[in-house]
């Protein structure tokens, strides 16, 4: 059992941040890796990326958006409550080296992972440019945290309620046009966002990494549920990823695969409300 130490709503009723006591995982987890948790005995196993960790306090920070039954269930817990299972670290850690200037692009809850990763890039001595976006001001998370570690930070919202109006691709394009010292783009967020970012960077021949979030069950390479096509080869996101070369990922297929259980997800959520 894993105790929730703190809980905070980053966006009201939609994006939640939790600090969970998991000392063994906190000691080992690196940027880019994720955990799988199961709230209770009848619960699903869901993969969540870790936004931060405190090795000394033995705490990992998870950030999640309430989308289905399990995340709603998780949200029903408060500080002091227990989560049945937390397993990790899973996936490969991101390769983080001092390469110069890196642009970190994040959208929605993807910013949570992006933050962990940006911090690691910064610690490795890179110059970090952050571009984070969300649908509106309410849904924008971790702006202050990102601001603290990024050398430059651009914020966009779809409706213009905060920062620049528009999508993250617009400031990214500007950077790619104006600056020539950028060595890598890291994009983490909803699938359409990553798809458009990679489309854009392809034009500039800019190496781009993405962090994928397909459907998973065990998260240990056992089921193949999370298979994605990368460079026309089947890869398992949980053991081969979650980070891949964005230019090689078949996003269309991933998008379709991720929509497999939309109906069941709804049924389950409705059943839990009744």
The residue ranges that bind another protein (CB under 8 A) are: 24-25, 28, 33, 38, 42-45, 69-70, 73, 84-90, 92, 217-218, 220-225, 227-229, 234, 236, 239, 250, 253, 256-257, 259-261, 264-265, 267-268, 271-272
Cis peptide before 43 (omega within 30 of 0): no
Q: How far is the CB of 216 from another protein (least distance, A)?
A: 10
Q: How far is the CB of 118 from another protein (least distance, A)?
A: 22
Q: Which is nearer to another protein, 134 or 228 (CB)?
A: 228
Instruction: For 176-195, give the DSSP string.
Output: HHH-S-EEEEEEESSHHHHH
The answer to whether 153 and 132 have CB atoms below 8 angstroms apart is yes
Q: Which DSSP state fits 94? A: P
Q: Which is nearer to another protein, 33 or 61 (CB)?
A: 33
The answer for residues whose C-beta is within 8 angstroms of residue 87's C-beta and 6 or more apart is 35, 36, 37, 219
Give the CA distances from residue 163 to residues 66, 131, 168, 208, in Å, rounded to whole numbers and listed in that order: 24, 11, 11, 24
Task: Tell me the three state secondary structure of residue 54.
Answer: strand
Q: Which is nearer to another protein, 119 or 235 (CB)?
A: 235
Q: Which is nearer to another protein, 175 or 236 (CB)?
A: 236
Q: How far is the CB of 272 from another protein (least distance, A)?
A: 8
Parallel/antiparallel/unpaired status of strands 101-107 and 59-65: unpaired
Q: Which is nearer to another protein, 51 or 226 (CB)?
A: 226
Across the strands, what pairs with 50? 62
Q: Which is nearer to another protein, 72 or 99 (CB)?
A: 72
Q: How far is the CB of 120 from another protein (least distance, A)?
A: 17
Q: How far is the CB of 223 from another protein (least distance, A)?
A: 4
Q: How far is the CB of 35 from another protein (least distance, A)?
A: 10
Backbone φ/ψ region at 100: left (φ over 0), alpha (ψ -120 to 50), beta = left
């Amino acid at each position: 059992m894993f105790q929730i130490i703190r809980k905070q709503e980053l966006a009201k009723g939609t994006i939640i941040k939790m600090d969970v006591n998991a000392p063994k995982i906190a000691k080992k987890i690196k940027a880019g890796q994720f955990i799988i948790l199961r709230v209770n005995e009848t619960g699903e196993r869901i993969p969540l990326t870790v936004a931060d960790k405190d090795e000394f306090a033995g705490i990992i920070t998870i950030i999640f958006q309430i989308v289905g039954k399990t995340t709603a269930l998780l949200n029903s817990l408060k500080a002091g409550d227990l989560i049945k299972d937390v397993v990790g670290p899973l996936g490969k850690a991101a390769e983080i080296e001092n390469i110069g200037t890196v642009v970190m692009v994040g959208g929605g809850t993807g910013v949570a992972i992006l933050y962990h990763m940006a911090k690691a890039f910064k610690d490795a001595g890179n110059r970090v440019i952050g571009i984070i976006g969300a649908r509106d001001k309410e849904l924008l998370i971790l702006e202050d945290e990102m601001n603290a570690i990024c050398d430059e930070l651009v914020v966009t919202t779809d409706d213009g309620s905060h920062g620049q109006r528009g999508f993250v691709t617009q400031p990214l394009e500007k950077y790619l046009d104006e600056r020539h010292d950028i060595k890598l783009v890291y994009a983490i967020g909803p699938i359409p966002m990553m798809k458009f970012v990679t489309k854009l960077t392809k034009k500039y021949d800019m190496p781009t990494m993405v962090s994928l979030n397909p459907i998973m069950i065990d998260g240990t390479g056992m089921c193949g549920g999370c298979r994605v096509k990368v460079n026309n080869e089947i890869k398992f996101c949980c053991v081969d990823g979650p980070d891949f070369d964005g230019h090689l990922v078949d996003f269309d297929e991933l998008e379709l695969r991720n929509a497999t259980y939309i109906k069941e997800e709804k049924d389950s959520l409705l059943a839990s409300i009744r």
